Amino acid sequence: MQLFHSCSRLVLFLGVVVSVCSLSADDPADEVGFVSLFDGKTLDGWEGKKEVFSVREGAIVAGSLKNPVANNEFLCTTKIYGDFELRLQAKLVGPGNNAGIQFRSRRIPNHHEVIGYQCDMGSWKPGVIWGALYDESRRRKMLAEGNQAEIAKALKKNDWNDLVIHCQENRIQIWLNGYQTVNYLEKDTKIATKGIIGLQIHGGKPSMASYRKIRLKPL
């Protein structure tokens, strides 16, 4: 009888371990509280130039590999968000090699540009800018960026990359495929802590940016 109870406890213990391990490896459990911002079929909930942004094979696609992009263009949410964690997958191909995700941003009236933070994608003369934090149309500079060697290890060129943007009060954190590129503390109290989320294609040489699996969890 004692042996039976011992074996029962062992089986129960192993069962709990297996359950916990399964739970930690299960994506749905990690997605609790997240709401999809893109239905994979339409641009409902977003606004922008339909001649620049379209839906193809479950992704929002911006730009063209055949023609230059005239200006920076943005597809923006119709809702405003403050503290949140945003998760999505992004891919960038073409010689233009510049795009990004705006957040806590706003449109400039009667203009193609927006003002706000951007999680950058692509590269420029100093190096790769995937996962860097840029201040679009405001301070117009990089606020924070990751280590070039680590970014090179994490980045999947011309393929889908997982991006996570975490905003809580005045702290902004960004991850690229699990590597944390940014842990930034905003010291300027005048900077907006709420705004739209926007998907960018940069003006210039032909380039195509794709975005999918876009979901957000309010904090």
What local confidence, expressed as pLDDT, does residue 29 receive?
A: 86
* Closest residue by Cα to residue 53 from 32, 75, 70: 75
**Whether residue 167 sits in one domain with residue 70:** yes
127 beta partners = 124
Each residue of 36-72: pLDDT tens digit?
999 999 999 999 999 999 999 999 999 999 999 899 9
Domain containing 210 equals 33-218
Q: Residue 160: which CATH number?
A: 2.60.120.560
- Contact call for residues 145 and 83 (beta carbons, < 8 A): no
Q: Are residues 19 and 69 in the same domain?
A: no
Same structural domain for residues 103 and 168?
yes
Residues of the chain with pLDDT under 70: 1-27
| Pair 142, 63 in one domain | yes
Whether 19 and 78 map to the same domain: the answer is: no
Distance CA 94, CA 122 (A): 10
How many domains are contained in the chain?
A: 2
Q: Same domain, yes or no, for 52 and 76?
A: yes
**Angle 77-79-85 from CA coordinates, rounded to 5°:** 80
21 shares its domain with 37: no
Query: Is 66 in the same domain as 115?
Result: yes
Over the Cα atoms of the chain, what is R_g? 20
Does 86 lie in the same domain as 177?
yes
What's residue 207's pLDDT? 96
Q: Are residues 129 and 144 in the same domain?
A: yes
The pLDDT, as a whole number, for residue 126 is: 85
Pairwise CA distance, residues 174 & 86, whole Å: 10
90 shares its domain with 5: no
Q: Are residues 1 and 60 in the same domain?
A: no
